[in-house]
């Protein structure tokens, strides 16, 4: 997996924690420019505290549930360096108190369904639309979505809304890849199962031991952002730890 030496510029949603934060820190450490998208200022400040005072890091704030806030990102994104890639890691599968699991759809609160689909599907699509409008003239680029690597519908029981959101992301990947082929923009999706983030360790401690290490997920994302994937598009790549034998 070779990485180009020249400085590139990537936009990463969900940069405040988990996969997004780990990827942003890794790209910065390798000399790239990174613009992260956060729901609030506190999340952006937390990332800067981790990455340090880095002039190659820019953080923007937008609630991905709100189309007007996503549209407002066009000006600051367009005034920065040319965008080489977008990684959509933002998603909702929990709140501050619990994971959105083990509840039948009939008993799932409507606002929870709106949040899961609003951020994971609509927000990702609208943010991608905004970035694509800036990338098209460059006639090259990478779009990467991150979904959850469900092994099948049997793993959807108790959080059907989250399963449906991830299925939609994977469908979006395949359709958008065909649309973007003429602009030489590759669109792929990485679909890891449980990843050893701080929230998985908190809400799923029984699965954290066998979950994928963050660095393995970042490695796969770096590959999808590299020149090595100039001929790969429309693919959904499943990742599941070899320790997970369920």
| Residue 211, domain extent | 9-239
Count of CB atoms situated within 10 Å of the CB of 118: 20
Would you say residue 152 lies in a domain?
Answer: yes
Average pLDDT over residues 210-232: 95
- Res 243: pLDDT: 64
Tokens of 161: 């809304």
Average pLDDT over residues 196-208: 88
- Res 208: pLDDT: 86
Q: Which residue has the tokens 């599941």?
A: 240
Would you say residue 245 lies in a domain?
Answer: no
Q: Which residue has the tokens 């506190």?
A: 42
- Res 40: pLDDT: 92
pLDDT, tens digit (0-9, with 9 covering 90-100), for 84-119: 999 999 999 888 888 889 999 999 999 999 999 999
> Higher pLDDT residue, 137 or 103?
103
pLDDT, tens digit (0-9, with 9 covering 90-100), for 154-174: 999 999 999 999 999 999 999
Would you say residue 215 lies in a domain?
Answer: yes
Q: Measure the CA–CA gap between 81 and 33, rounded to whole angstroms.
A: 9
Would you say residue 246 lies in a domain?
Answer: no
Would you say residue 222 lies in a domain?
Answer: yes
Is pLDDT at 188 greater than 90 in this prediction? yes
Residue 187: phi, psi to the nearest 5?
-125, 120
Q: Which CATH number goes with the domain that contains 125?
A: 3.40.50.720
Would you say residue 50 lies in a domain?
Answer: yes
3-class DSSP assignment, residue 195: strand
Using only C-alpha atoms, the chain has a radius of gyration, in whole angstroms, of: 17
Count: domains in the chain: 1
What average pLDDT does the chain have? 91
The length of the chain is: 246
Would you say residue 2 lies in a domain?
Answer: no
Q: Measure the CA–CA gap between 95 and 212, rounded to whole angstroms.
A: 22
Cβ 189 vs Cβ 173: under 8 Å = yes
Ramachandran region of residue 141, left (φ > 0), alpha (ψ -120 to 50) or beta?
Answer: left
Q: Which residue has the tokens 């360096």?
A: 81
Q: Which residue has the tokens 């800067």?
A: 48
Would you say residue 175 lies in a domain?
Answer: yes
């Amino acid at each position: 997996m070779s990485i180009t030496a020249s400085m590139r510029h990537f936009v990463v949603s969900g940069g405040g924690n988990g996969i997004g934060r780990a990827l942003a820190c890794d790209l910065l450490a390798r000399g790239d420019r990174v613009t992260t998208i956060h729901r609030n200022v506190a999340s952006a400040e937390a990332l800067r505290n981790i990455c340090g005072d880095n002039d190659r890091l820019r953080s923007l704030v937008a609630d991905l549930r709100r189309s007007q806030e996503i549209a407002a990102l066009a000006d600051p994104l367009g005034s920065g360096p040319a965008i080489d890639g977008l990684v959509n890691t933002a998603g909702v599968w929990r709140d501050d108190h619990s994971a959105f699991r083990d509840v039948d759809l009939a008993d799932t609160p409507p606002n929870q369904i709106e949040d899961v689909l609003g951020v994971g599907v609509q927000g990702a699509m609208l943010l991608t639309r905004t970035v694509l409008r800036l990338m098209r003239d460059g006639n090259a680029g990478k779009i990467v979505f991150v979904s959850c690597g469900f092994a099948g519908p049997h793993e959807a029981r108790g959080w059907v809304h989250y399963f449906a959101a991830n299925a939609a992301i994977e469908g979006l990947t395949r359709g958008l890849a065909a649309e973007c082929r003429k602009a030489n923009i590759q669109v792929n999706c990485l679909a890891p199962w449980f990843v050893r983030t701080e929230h998985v360790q908190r809400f799923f401690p029984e699965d954290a031991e066998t979950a994928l290490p963050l660095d393995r997920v970042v490695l796969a994302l770096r590959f999808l952002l590299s020149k090595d994937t100039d001929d790969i598009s429309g693919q959904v790549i499943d990742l599941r730890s070899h320790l997970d034998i369920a």
